[in-house]
Structures are given as C-alpha cells and as structure tokens.
Structure 1
Amino acid sequence: MPRHDLPRVAIVEDDPIMGESLVERLSLEGYRPLWLTTGAAALEWFGAQRPDLLLCDIRLPDMTGEELFQALLPRLGGTPVMFMTGFGDIGQAVRLVRAGADDYLTKPFVVEEFLARIAELLRGRSPDDPDAALGRSPAIRQVEHLLRRVADVDSTLLISGESGVGKEVAAAFVHRISRRAPSPFMAVNCAAIPPDLIDSELFGHEKGAFTGAHALHRGYAERAGNGVLFLDEVGELPHPVQAKLLRLVQERVFFRVGGEKPLPFQARLVCATNADLDGLVRAGTFRRDLYYRLNVIPVAVPPLRERPDDVLPLLQAYLHQYAEAFGRPAQRLTPQAEAAALEHDWPGNVRELRNRIERAVVLATGPWISANDLFPERHVVDRFGTGTGWPPLMAVRDESERSHILVTLRRADGQLGRAADLLGVGRTTLWEKMRRLGIAAEQTE
C-alpha cells in the first residue's frame, strides 16, 4: 500500500518517551503517526486536515484532554477518538466516552491490546471497506455477496423486502459495480404513477397517440439505454401493463403507445416489491407467467430489526451527511442515544432511521444527539413511576448506567470480561449492576 494511503493517526502526548514509543510502534504496524505535544498544536493542525484516528492524553501542558475534545468536536466528523489516562483520571475518561469519545486506555497498557483497539476503531469507521458496502451485519453481507456474484449477469433480479429496507439502494449497488455502470440507472416507482399514465411513462408514446400527446415521448424503458431499468413496487402494475412488461422480458422488445415499430430493450431489468407476489398471483391480481419471468434471481433484503449491527453505522453515516449538508453542529450520538437506537425495533426500517436522524440533526443545538432527539415521542412517557413524566435523579443515573453498559457490551461483542475491562470495573461488579438494572444475561452471549 502506498504510504499516503496508510491510516493517519494523530497523537497528542506531551511525554517525550511515550510519544516517541507510540510513533515508532505505529509506524512499524503500518500507520502514519503524527505527533503533537500540546493542545494548541492539535487545534491548529485540525484546522486544515483530519486524521483517521485521534489518540489523546488526558493531561496536557496547556489544557486538559476534555477541553481539547470539546474544542475539536465540531471538526471531528466521524473521526474515532481514544483517550489515554492514568488511573486517577478514569472518571474523566468515562465522562468523555459518555460525551461522545470512542474509547480509553489506562496507562500503563499492554501494547497488543492497544493495537487491537485502534485496529477495531479504524475498521469500524472505514467507509471504503469493499466487503461492507451495504452494511456490516452477516445478513446484509450475504445479500451483498449474492449481488456481487450476479452483477454482470443479465438475468432479471427480483428484490423483495419490507418498505424502507433499502431495495433501491441494493439495485443501485448492482448497477454501480456492474459493467453497465457508465449507462443510466433509471428508477421508477410503479405505485407513484397514476394507472392511466404508467403505460406511457414506461414505454413512451408517439405524437398524436392520444389527446394531449403533442410530441414524441420516450419512456423509461427506452431512456435506460444499456443501463438498468429498476421497477420498484412492481406488484402495483395494472394487468394491461403487466402483459406489455412480459413481452419486454421475453422478447426484449416493446412498443410505444400508438407505435407500430418494435423497439429493442437493451437494459437490464431489476424489479422490487414489498408485497407477497406469490399471494397476488394466487389472488389473480398478478400474472403468474410474469412472476416466473421476474423471479429468476430472488434477493430478499432483511428488515433492520434483524440487522442490529447495521443500526449504529447507519446512524453515524447519516448524522455526518446531514450535519455537513445543513451546516449543523451535531456530530455525535450519546451512549444513551446509541442504546435507545439498538433497543428500537425500527418498523420503518432504514427510511425511518434516516428520517429520525435528519430531524434530530436539524433541531440539534449542541454537538451531540441525545436519545430524546432521536425519539422525542418517548419524552412524555413516564417510564420512572413518578406520575409526572419527569424522572428523579436516581432513575436518571440508573438509566445512564444501563445505557452505557448496553453500548459497552455490544462493543465487547457480548464478552462480559472484556466489557468489565472497558468500564474499569470487576467482572462481578458488572454482573451485579446488570442484574440490578435488568439487563438480560443474553446480552453477554
């Protein structure tokens, strides 16, 4: 790998021995370390560029690591942050993690553990991982693997899944990685076009074909060229249009409305539905022969509730996208927001997730998004038994601890010992807290 493509790690550490040791070891491990000795130097450097990872000591000569973190937060974007701390500053490190930092290590630390943690942070935040273009969860990786295998096959794809799971994203991904990528990706929502217009919109019409047809109109099938024609909600097509689509699939030709000359269909057809097409066939509302012609390569996109590993990466990605687009200060999710997101069923799938994070970013007044920003409808629910809807201090503390433990367990892959190390408590202490806070033992499996 060229040197400029290696991950850049910014180190803010005033101790010369520690700083030199980190630079030397990170260089040997294939990183590009940059050593800064003061908070002021870090602020100046971050004004022009951004590293792939920030490694920061909590005690600096001109400011604390916490002060530096607060100052840098609007510029960090998706940059992961790890703090190094002595035993006496663990409380401050925990407070920083709750405020949006990603991890901390207590000095002196084992080098192998240190390297493993930064590798995990960099791997988790890398947007260019070719093996995780659609998500990290095993379920969506299986979908991606199938799509990669059939990207350059011209057989028809039928993508199924609940509304909002990302069927069009999957279709666009196939187009992007295929040899047809230079040609158009023509997406059509069949449910959004009035039934009396869909024939003309799909296949076009000749001048004078009907009242109001004042000029030749080329439909989506023609404009797709050598690219991809994506028909979303294909189950909504009227029966007459289904017959024309069947001819297009079988004979690779179509006719414009009012036309007599057959036109070649050169694009690849990809269809999607959130309906049970097999059930529609049995009900007589969808042609059986068309169903078999479309369902050559079936692809089922699982709902977001079955892909919990994708929730936080999607939230982070859309958070940064909307924060940059709207010029908003929000850059991070609090641990409580992450825990609430992981506990949510996401009935609206990725579309709901996008809507929630967009609204939260627009309304945010500070640098991070809270659980109430994501789920404002829960704010009025009295979850604490007070009868007022306003939580007492002890309940807030317990809820905060519970949320932070849940997030830590997920980061530790459910391993209780590792989670206890991350939290700076003993395994028995963590287990007792989990029992008291009602965290199921399955979280550790």
Structure 2
Amino acid sequence: MAHILIVEDETIIRSALRRLLERNQFQVSEAGSVQEAQDRYDIPSFDLIISDLRLPGAPGTELIDLAAGKPVLIMTSYASLRSAVDSMKQGAVDYIAKPFDHDEMLQAVARILIEREQSQQQASPERPATRSEALPVHDNDIGIIGSCAPMQDLYGKIRKVSPTDSTVLIQGESGTGKELVARALHNLSRRVKAPLISVNCAAIPETLIESELFGHEKGAFTGASASRTGLVEAADGGTLFLDEIGELPLEAQARLLRVLQEGEIRRVGSVQSQKVNVRLIAATHRDLKTLAKTGQFREDLYYRLNVISLRLPPLRERGNDVLEIARVFLVRQSNRMGREAMHFSQEAELAIRHYSWPGNVRELENAIERAVILSERNEIEPDLLGIDIELEDLDLSEHFLAPLDTPLGSPHAGHEPTEDLSLEDYFQHFVLEHQDHMTETELARKLGISRKCLWERRQRLGIPRRKTGATSTDLS
C-alpha cells in the first residue's frame, strides 16, 4: 500500500483529499506546513508527497529537496500556473490545478506511482514480479494498452512525429484515449522536461476561454483585479494540448492562429505581444473539415492544425485489444479495492468482446469498476458489467474457436442493437431535440442532473453544444 503525505494549510481541502485517498486504499499522513512535515515525519520515507504551492512559512517547493528523490505533486490555482511550471523546473514530478475533481487527482496519483514503480523495476530487473506487474500494461515506451494492427500503426506514427515540433491533430471518438496519445507525443519529444499543459476547450465557458488561454491584464474587464498568466504562456517551452478544439469559439480560434503563425500571444486588455515557444497538439471527436466548410471552424486554422493527423480507432475496431484492456483494468481495480485476484467468466469475456462499447475505453473502465464493486466472488459474470447485450444471440463455442482479431464492425460481430431506448439513448434524443431552444441550465434541470454531469455526458456520447443564442447567453 502506497504511503502518501499531504501538505496543505486549508483543513477542509486537506481532510477531503485524505478521505478520497484512503477510500482508494492509500495510507495517508498530513501536515499543515513544510515545517510541520519536517518536525513530524521522515519525508523521504513516503512514496509520494502532495503539497500546496503556497503554504505558511516555506513554499511547497521546499519539499522537493527534502523528499530526496521521492515524487512531489504540486497543487496550485490557475492564477499561479506560472509558479507551478517553475516548480516543475525545480524538480516537482507534476502539478495539478485547483479546483480539481476526484478522478483527476486519482489519475495523477496512479500515474505517478506507476511511473515510479516502473523506474524501480528498470533499476532492479531481478526483483520478482507481483501478480499486477506480471500482466503487460502497455506498449513499450508509448504508454497505451493494445497490440492490434491499427494501434501498431499508430505507435509507429507517434514515434516518427514525437521528435519534431510539428502540430498534431488527434481524431477519435470520445473515450478512446486521445489525451494518452498527446502525453506519449510529449514524453517522447525533446520537450519532455518542459510542461505539458492540457486544456479541455469544452469545459471552459465561452466568456472566459480567451482569458484562460491567453491571460489578461489588470482591469481588462469587470472582475479582472490582477494580471493573470494564460495557459498558452504557461506552456512556453513545452507542449499545449487542446482537447475538443472543435468547441473553441471563433474569436479564440483567431488568437490561436496567431500563436501558430507568429509564435506570439497578446493578453486580453494588453497592447503588447510577447513571444512563446509552444508545440501544439489538438484533439477532437468532430469532423473539423466539415465544420470549416460550414463556417463553424476557421478554415485557415484547420489547415494549420492538420499538419500531422493521427486517428485513434474506436474500441469496437480494435479486435482482441478490448479483452487485453479489460484484464488490465480488472487487475488495477482489484488491487485498488484490496480484492483477491479476479477473473472474467467465459460468458463475461464473450460479452466484453462483442459489445460495441459506444463510450469506448472510458465506458469499459467504468463497467469493470462497477463489476468489481458488486461482485461477491472472484469471478466476474456478464450481468455485473451493466452492458446491454443478449448472450443468447451469440454462439459461445464459435467465439472461442474463432480468431479474436476481427473488428466488431465486421459481419461476424453479429449483435444487433436492441430496439428499446436505453437511458443513454433517451438522454441523447432529449438533448438533440431541445438544445436549440433551451439553455444548458434548463436542459440539466429538466433531466434532473447538474450542469457538470450534463457536460460529462455530452462528452461521453459525442453530442456537441449548438452555438445558438440560447446557449451562448447562458452564463449561470
């Protein structure tokens, strides 16, 4: 069990973070300042230190030297992003911007601990592997699970493109792992020691997107009480990853085009430009070429982005990769929840292999987490996965005798979708029918969910927001 030290002076944040990590099977200690951490603990004995950047007395970056090589994850607000980037240059393993959601923090912690474990394995290759280590997790230096032909082709392109500074456009359905590809491109590049700044363009309100990306000067608009560094500027020297770039407003697209053409930005409210050295990686699940033709996306920006285009195949086209990924997730979730070694029944593997997975890898991971939580035995049965597939329609013996590298879109995949509307189908129909005349707040209220949940479901199902008067004026 990994032992994590939290150093945070705000009691509410510290307690909430402790509960989150303890619920996920981590051992946690805490302190309110660097001095308290020094007085109470042997700091190098921890597997990971998570610290706020601004603390009473000494800043959180002081822990980098005190940790003696152990990873330090810095927490910071968007307002001090430049300081966070500086902390990485001092030796912090990564930073996470406040406010963060639970999944974001857990993913960052898991990634840091896995990378540390892998580096230790490389340093001592004779160490015997545990059951979780014995399972292949990803493809060599790429960091992505899967070995089907389309993915092997993708890995080859990633290795060719990574050492260059060329702009890359990653295309693929929601949930396919576009951010993993962006991270691989950064980690294999010459900019690996500089920051990778990830921005989800769909998650930032249109009224704030330009300020978030390019920064603003004091007094540039109501509420701008101080100057602020933008995310493009924070990525200077490194990589900027713009996820769901198809949701970027046209005004912000024009500013981004200037970054690509001139290598400079101008903060909102400023008359001076400043140079930036940023490699841009963009991702989208939408057809930018079609959007450009209809005037919803700048055509000149599209051609600037589309220097190198990488397509990430949906899970249904990846053949037997789905079982490889499912088994890795099963080991990961079993370990995380302290369960004994678990496995899928033959029927569960059949269901996983033949289900179309419209939510892709994200849906698969959620289904397996659900199954591990609900299972009372060490064998996962198909009903625990919560997926809509009739096993009677599939020939079990034929499945296990036939080769498993046929994409699910082939005639042999053989499962016709049910005619009854699922809850996801109902959500999709309702949003598409009403989004032209209802605001996001009204849509969420009618569906009985929060606006955050509405946005997350849009992302998972690939339903873009319409650029109508109703949604653009909804600032609540």
Q: Tell me the TM-score range normalised by the shorter chain.
A: 0.5 to 0.7
Counterpart amino acid of residue 400 in structure 2? V
Q: Which runs of 4+ in 1 moved over 6 A?
A: 439-442
What's the counterpart of residue 371 of structure 1?
A: 382
Q: Are 1:324 and 2:335 an aligned pair?
A: yes
Deviation, structure 1 residue 365: 2.0
Alpha carbons of structure 1 residues 183 and 132: separation in structure 2 relative to 1, 3 Å: closer
**Gapped regions of structure 2 (runs ≥ 5):** 1-125, 415-476
3-state SS, counterpart of residue 358 of structure 1: helix
Deviation, structure 1 residue 313: 1.2
Q: Are 1:130 and 2:130 an aligned pair?
A: no
Would you say how many aligned residue pairs link Structure 1 and Structure 2?
284
Alpha carbons of structure 1 residues 365 and 358: separation in structure 2 relative to 1, 3 Å: same
What's the counterpart of residue 349 of structure 2?
A: 338
Counterpart amino acid of residue 130 in structure 1? N
Q: Are 1:350 and 2:343 an aligned pair?
A: no
Q: Are 1:215 and 2:208 an aligned pair?
A: no
What's the counterpart of residue 199 of structure 2?
A: 188
CA distance in 1, matches of 2:138, 2:207: 44
Counterpart amino acid of residue 191 in structure 2? R
Deviation, structure 1 residue 383: 4.6
3-state SS, counterpart of residue 205 of structure 1: coil
What's the counterpart of residue 399 of structure 2?
A: 406
CA distance in 2, matches of 1:266, 1:376: 46
Identity %: 44
Whether the 8 Å contact between 2:171 and 2:283 is mirrored in structure 1 is yes
Deviation, structure 1 residue 222: 1.1
What's the counterpart of residue 290 of structure 1?
A: 301
Deviation, structure 1 residue 332: 1.5
CA distance in 2, matches of 1:407, 1:217: 59
Pairing of 1:66-81 with structure 2 (within 5 A): 76-77=131-132, 79=134
Alpha carbons of structure 1 residues 262 and 441: separation in structure 2 relative to 1, 3 Å: closer
Counterpart amino acid of residue 276 in structure 2? F
Counterpart amino acid of residue 371 in structure 2? A
Whether the 8 Å contact between 1:77 and 1:331 is mirrored in structure 2 is no
CA distance in 1, matches of 2:391, 2:190: 55
Alpha carbons of structure 1 residues 227 and 286: separation in structure 2 relative to 1, 3 Å: same
Deviation, structure 1 residue 382: 9.5
CA distance in 2, matches of 1:404, 1:258: 68
- Structure 2 length-normalised TM: 0.55
Deviation, structure 1 residue 406: 2.1
Deviation, structure 1 residue 261: 2.2
CA distance in 1, matches of 2:215, 2:189: 26
Counterpart amino acid of residue 136 in structure 2? S
CA distance in 2, matches of 1:297, 1:216: 35
3-state SS, counterpart of residue 179 of structure 2: helix
Whether the 8 Å contact between 2:139 and 2:147 is mirrored in structure 1 is no
Whether the 8 Å contact between 1:336 and 1:404 is mirrored in structure 2 is no
3-state SS, counterpart of residue 197 of structure 2: strand
Deviation, structure 1 residue 250: 0.3
Alpha carbons of structure 1 residues 341 and 320: separation in structure 2 relative to 1, 3 Å: same
Deviation, structure 1 residue 50: 9.2
3-state SS, counterpart of residue 178 of structure 1: coil
Alpha carbons of structure 1 residues 296 and 345: separation in structure 2 relative to 1, 3 Å: same
3-state SS, counterpart of residue 269 of structure 1: strand
Larger helix proportion, structure 1 or 2? 1
Work out which of the residue numbers 209, 217, 220 in structure 2 matches 1:198: 209
What's the counterpart of residue 32 of structure 1?
A: none
Deviation, structure 1 residue 405: 5.4
**Gapped regions of structure 1 (runs ≥ 5):** 1-48, 53-74, 80-124, 385-398, 415-438
CA distance in 1, matches of 2:391, 2:255: 56
- Structure 1 length-normalised TM: 0.59
CA distance in 2, matches of 1:283, 1:358: 41
Which region of structure 1 is more displaced relative to structure 2, 137-146 or 402-411? 402-411
**Larger Cα-atom Rg:** 1
CA distance in 1, matches of 2:311, 2:327: 25
3-state SS, counterpart of residue 362 of structure 1: helix
Deviation, structure 1 residue 310: 1.2
What's the counterpart of residue 166 of structure 1?
A: 177
What's the counterpart of residue 4 of structure 2?
A: none
Cα shift readout 1:393-433 (whole Å, capped 9, x = no counterpart): xxxxxx8xx5365235447x79xxxxxxxxxxxxxxxxxxx
Counterpart amino acid of residue 127 in structure 1? V
Deviation, structure 1 residue 325: 2.0
Deviation, structure 1 residue 238: 0.8
Instruction: Give the RMSD, CA atoms, in angstroms.
Output: 2.8
Whether the 8 Å contact between 1:281 and 1:287 is mirrored in structure 2 is yes
Deviation, structure 1 residue 364: 2.0
Deviation, structure 1 residue 272: 0.7
Q: Are 1:259 and 2:252 an aligned pair?
A: no
Q: Are 1:249 and 2:260 an aligned pair?
A: yes
CA distance in 2, matches of 1:407, 1:179: 45
What's the counterpart of residue 31 of structure 1?
A: none
Alpha carbons of structure 1 residues 168 and 128: separation in structure 2 relative to 1, 3 Å: closer
What's the counterpart of residue 106 of structure 2?
A: none
CA distance in 2, matches of 1:300, 1:129: 17
CA distance in 2, matches of 1:172, 1:382: 37
